[in-house]
Amino acid sequence: ITCRTSKDETCKSCSVNEPNYLHKVDRQPKKPSTKMVRVGDFTLQLVAADTKEPFKEHTAPDGQVYAEVEPDMDYYISVRTVVGGVTMTMHVDGVDLGYKHHFKNANSTSFLGSWSRTGSKERMTALHFNKTREAHGVAPNMLTGKVKVKIHQRGDEYYKEPYDYVSRSLTVDSTLGGKKCIKSTTSGSHSFERRSSKKLKGSLERKYKVGKHICTITLNYCSALGLIYNKILPSPPALEGI
Predicted pLDDT of residue 231: 83
Predicted pLDDT of residue 179: 45
Q: CA-to-CA distance for 236 and 69, rounded, in angstroms?
A: 19
Q: DSSP readout, the chain?
A: ----S-TTSBP-SSS--SBTTT-----SPPPPP---EEETTEEEEEEETTT-PBPPEEE-TTS-EEEE--TTEEEEEEEEESSSSEEEEEEETTEEEEEEEEE-SSSEEEEESEEEEETTEEEEE-EEEEE----SS--GGGG-EEEEEEEEEEEEEEEE----EEPPP--TTTSSSSS-SEEEES--S-EEEEE----EETTEEEEEEEEEEEEEEEEEEE-HHHHHHTTSSPPPGGGTT-
Predicted pLDDT of residue 55: 96
Predicted pLDDT of residue 14: 41
Predicted pLDDT of residue 18: 38
User: Hey, how many other C-beta atoms are within 10 angstroms of the C-beta on 121?
Assistant: 12
Q: CA-to-CA distance for 181 and 149, rounded, in angstroms?
A: 22
Predicted pLDDT of residue 8: 41
pLDDT, tens digit only, all 242 positions of the chain: 233 333 444 444 343 343 333 333 333 334 444 566 899 999 999 999 999 999 999 999 889 999 999 888 999 999 999 999 999 999 999 899 999 999 999 999 999 999 999 888 899 999 999 876 554 555 555 678 899 999 999 999 999 988 899 998 887 665 544 444 577 888 889 999 976 666 677 788 889 999 999 999 999 999 888 888 878 888 876 555 55
Predicted pLDDT of residue 127: 95
Q: CA-to-CA distance for 184 and 72, rounded, in angstroms?
A: 10
Predicted pLDDT of residue 87: 97
Q: CA-to-CA distance for 176 and 180, rounded, in angstroms?
A: 10
Q: How far is CA 234 from the centre of its chain?
A: 22
Predicted pLDDT of residue 137: 53
**What CA–CA distances, in Å, run from 49 to 30, 54, 64, 128, 220?**
23, 9, 24, 9, 18
Handedness of CA 30, 239, 48, 104 (dihedral sign): positive
Q: How far is CA 148 from the centre of its chain?
A: 8
Does the predicted model carry a pTM greater than 0.85? no
